[in-house]
Structure 1
Amino acid sequence: MFINTIKQAIEKFKLLQKGDRVLLAISGGLDSVALLEVFCLLQKEYKLSLFVSHYDHKIRKNSYKDAMFVYQLCKQKSIPFFYTASPVPLYAKREKLSLEMAGRELRYRLWYFLAKKYDLQRVALAHHLDDLAEEVFLKIIRGTGKRGLSGIPIKREDLIIRPFLFVSKEEIRRFVEERGLKWVEDPTNNDLRFVRNKVRHLLIPYLEQNFNKNIKQNLKKVALIIAEEEELIEDLAKKHYEKLKSFDGKNIRLKLYDLKQLSTTLRKRIYFLVFQEINLPLFRVSFSHIENLERLLTKHVKGPVYLPGDYIAYRGPGYLAFSKKVFNLPFFELEIKTEGEYLLPNQEILKVYKIKTSEIKKTPLVMCFSAKKLSFPFIIRNRKPGDKVFIPSLGHKKLKKFFQEKGIPHHLRDQVLIIEHEGKIIAVWGIYIAPAYRPKEDEEVLVLEVFPLK
């Protein structure tokens, strides 16, 4: 009966396809042991390849025992086992996060990494109906929009799946006991210092006893209705996002005018699509971050808007840009004496090489010069006081004014590479090349290309 209920959820929400490679997140607790058992029972029918990930948060001294328990389960079932350990309390302290949020962020980061490295199509988690109810109440307590009231999605980005989401903890327990399975108990689940545990052990039982014993089932209905509406909004947002976005190197830009024409609801959803694409930690995004983006859009704040994970958003001429936070660099000067690779102060690699004109790649990370004109040695540096650029027919112009005219934000100007030859600025990265140094047809080209440090 329990297996049939799970299969119905899998079919209804298209959680699996035959032949999928599935990573199971197994802590060793009751719920995850049930998840492992269910997928082993479904493995032949769906032709699944199964893998297990166990994350040791290093919160308890004897947490390694849980890892050994899961390892033994995997050994018995001949399932590949990934063990990862990380001192989550130290990470939480460094990043100023709660233990719960820090652990969640690190786990998801790991799962996405494993999925990409080992070509896994699904990551299955053991969240159930009781977890869904807890999450809805937590979102209300902390403050949320309508999206938050959908609780925990049963499927996320076609990778994360939660096949137990609409069965209760009690149903899972009965299944485990009927199968004669063993599990480990995590004592932190009863620690009332965690808000989630207060909701689980105090708030929900109180509401069930004094208001409605079916409150979890009712929340399930509400969450399903909202989730269906949210899926529609998400689809609309994705269609608009594809039309709005463009790339400037590693940065994402949104067309400012078109973005303003959309409803506030769609705009806010588009911000989250940007966050997903640049791998910004979504768990850290708060109401104030989204409101500040809206104020930036309407010029009520000048920007930049600082986002979690060292990301920023800023306005440019006709666009709203999202990028990794840029820290001000001290002045540097790098002499380029020959072809080869050079390490830049921002931990990027500058590659210098020669090619033919026909082989030129036009990207924001490449600049091309006439090899006859730009001879070795030359200088790569960032701006310094008094810099001027010579513009034919206009004469010399201060670099500061040149940046203003080109819409380069203040906080990015120290990062812009200046190319100096024979004591003169002959190029500003991505903006300007002196006409005499531009490559002509059928001549050798000197290429400067930037790569992130691996």
Structure 2
Amino acid sequence: MFRPGETVLVAVSGGPDSVCLLDLLFRLREALGIRLCVAHLNHRLRGQASEADARFVARLSKKMDLPCEVGVCDVGALSRAEGRSPEDGARQARLRFLEEARRRVGASRIALGHTQSDQAETVLLRLLRGSGRGGLGAMRPVRDGVWVRPLLSVSREEVGRYLALRGLPFRRDATNRDVRFTRNRIRRDLLPRLRRDYNPDVEGVLARTASVLAEEEAWLEGVVQRAFVRARRPSPPGKIVLDVQRVLGYHLALQRRVIRRALAEAGCRGDALSFEVVDRVLSALNCPARTLRVSAEVGVRRASDALIFARPTPAFETPVRIPGRTAVPALGVVLTVCIHPASEVRASLRGAGPDEVFADLRAFAQGATIRNARKGDRFQPLGMAGTKRVSDLLADAKVPRLLRDSVPVLTGSGAIVWVVGHRLAHAARVTGQTRQVVHIQVKKRSKDIFYE
């Protein structure tokens, strides 16, 4: 959990659990070979009591001769602005503050005072909300290699005995007795009933269950990752494309997990990863013509034998070096442009692949740009007598609707020269009068750009 020589940021609210944690780590710091720094966030939710908490933690840190990072946040205003409950808003503000403080002091770990009792409450809370195995695994002793919970196997009762034995003062948070909050009702009503009427060691049982589920979840994540990789097709940034038949061949439980992984990879968070959303996506497998909006930005649609999860491709317009290399971060590709005498490349014209094109240099007399296709864009495709809308060209090529904004256009002198990966403009073709030819290749992630 700790490595010698590292700095540990200890989150201290002033309550019994965090005071116990700080005292234990302070007494063990030399044996563990670690340096400590204290962090406290004043949430301004309890008026003068919040101010008193901050002063208490500052005095405690000074007494131990430890540096102390103190932050202030109007959690009430922040929660209203972000549409969160005060409880969730406080949690999010606290996590952000601790991560920022960790970077400021150069700490590699953030120690939290959660106990076995907190773990039991979390399991019950998530069970009542309908969480699956991942949620019921609850809190981990170590998360992301940064967040550590040294007291997760210690009960709140044991913490109380330790504080009494050491004669340590601490602060009481009156909101912990407010039964309007579900967690407090679980703590003050449900758990005592379960302990009294069903199992005196219910906290230990729930904590062990969480530990077992967390270990199994870690193993299952490997299974899910392999299934996801097998089902995934090449796709541009911001898009996830799954093979429908491959997904349908999985057990329903694995289907749900692969869908959830795809949603997360596409940028979904929070409610957009819920069981209800996952089941709606599974239903979309049988509705090929319907786009399912799962969040403000992410849409899901079945197109033939592909299930597509897509965020809009951000707008971009990038000048292209001729000759030279041009990076296009929005698509994760690099354009490589070379100029050749026409006599050297005529034999190569018919063998060009979908991710390269040969064009007359004169088409770029006033420069070149690569950009998103725009509504109303038209050009004259090679071999056609008239013009055609780019959107119609992509529809005819059976590019799924959710992937079309990933197909860029290359312009020369203000006109569309190439719908990248699809069709060259007739006016830019190499003819008998062409003296110099531009060879343009989409490299690196070129195979990921276009759906075929």
TM-score normalized by structure 1? Answer: 0.73
* 1:92 Cα offset (Å): 3.1
* Aligned counterparts of 2:7 and 2:265: Cα–Cα separation in 1: 23
* 1:173 Cα offset (Å): 1.4
Q: Which amino acid aligns with 2:280?
A: N
* Aligned counterparts of 2:267 and 2:106: Cα–Cα separation in 1: 19
RMSD: 4.1
SS of aligned partner of 2:9: strand
Paired position in structure 2 for 1:183: 170
CA contact (8 A) 1:367 1:430 kept: no
Q: Which amino acid aligns with 2:415?
A: K
Q: Which runs of 5+ in 1 are unaligned?
A: 1-14, 327-345, 448-454
Q: Which moved more, 1:410-419 or 1:43-52?
A: 410-419
Q: Which moved more, 1:252-261 or 1:314-323?
A: 314-323
Q: Percent identity?
A: 26
* Aligned counterparts of 1:410 and 1:70: Cα–Cα separation in 2: 56
**Number of aligned positions between the proteins:** 409
CA contact (8 A) 2:12 2:39 kept: yes
* Aligned counterparts of 1:55 and 1:110: Cα–Cα separation in 2: 7
| Pair 416,231 (structure 1): closer, same or farther in 2 beyond 3 Å | closer
Larger Rg: 2
CA contact (8 A) 1:22 1:122 kept: yes
Q: Which amino acid aligns with 1:40?
A: F
Q: 1:120-131, aligned counterparts within 5 Å?
A: 120-131=107-118
- Post-superposition CA distance 1:355-403 (Å, at most 9, x none): 753x455762456467954354778676234x32332135543222223
Q: Which runs of 5+ in 2 are unaligned?
A: 340-360, 443-452
* Aligned counterparts of 1:243 and 1:117: Cα–Cα separation in 2: 41
Paired position in structure 2 for 1:391: 381
Paired position in structure 1 for 2:215: 228
- Post-superposition CA distance 1:25-69 (Å, at most 9, x none): 222211111122222233222322333333333322232332333
Of residues 138, 143, 148, the one that matches 1:156 is 143
Q: 1:248-327, aligned counterparts within 5 Å?
A: 250-251=237-238, 253-257=240-244, 258-271=246-259, 273=261, 280-282=268-270, 285-299=273-287, 302-307=290-295, 310-314=297-301, 320=307, 322=309, 324=311
* 1:412 Cα offset (Å): 7.2
SS of aligned partner of 1:38: helix
Paired position in structure 1 for 2:345: none
Q: Structure 1 residue 58 and structure 2 residue 44: aligned?
A: yes
| Pair 283,228 (structure 1): closer, same or farther in 2 beyond 3 Å | same
* 1:223 Cα offset (Å): 2.4
* Aligned counterparts of 1:31 and 1:125: Cα–Cα separation in 2: 9
Paired position in structure 1 for 2:391: 400
SS of aligned partner of 1:383: coil
Q: Which moved more, 1:177-186 or 1:365-374?
A: 365-374
* 1:168 Cα offset (Å): 0.6
* 1:111 Cα offset (Å): 4.4
Q: Structure 1 residue 39 and structure 2 residue 29: aligned?
A: no
Q: Structure 1 residue 137 and structure 2 residue 124: aligned?
A: yes
* Aligned counterparts of 1:300 and 1:444: Cα–Cα separation in 2: 38
- Post-superposition CA distance 1:298-340 (Å, at most 9, x none): 5478334323x755555567655555567xxxxxxxxxxxxxx
* Aligned counterparts of 2:310 and 2:38: Cα–Cα separation in 1: 34
* 1:194 Cα offset (Å): 0.8
CA contact (8 A) 1:293 1:305 kept: no
CA contact (8 A) 1:105 1:281 kept: no
* 1:254 Cα offset (Å): 4.7
CA contact (8 A) 1:20 1:120 kept: yes
Paired position in structure 2 for 1:24: 10
Q: Which moved more, 1:129-138 or 1:255-264?
A: 255-264
- Post-superposition CA distance 1:105-133 (Å, at most 9, x none): 34334545555676644332211111112
TM-score normalized by structure 2? Answer: 0.73
* Aligned counterparts of 1:281 and 1:297: Cα–Cα separation in 2: 21
| Pair 304,121 (structure 1): closer, same or farther in 2 beyond 3 Å | farther
| Pair 265,398 (structure 1): closer, same or farther in 2 beyond 3 Å | same
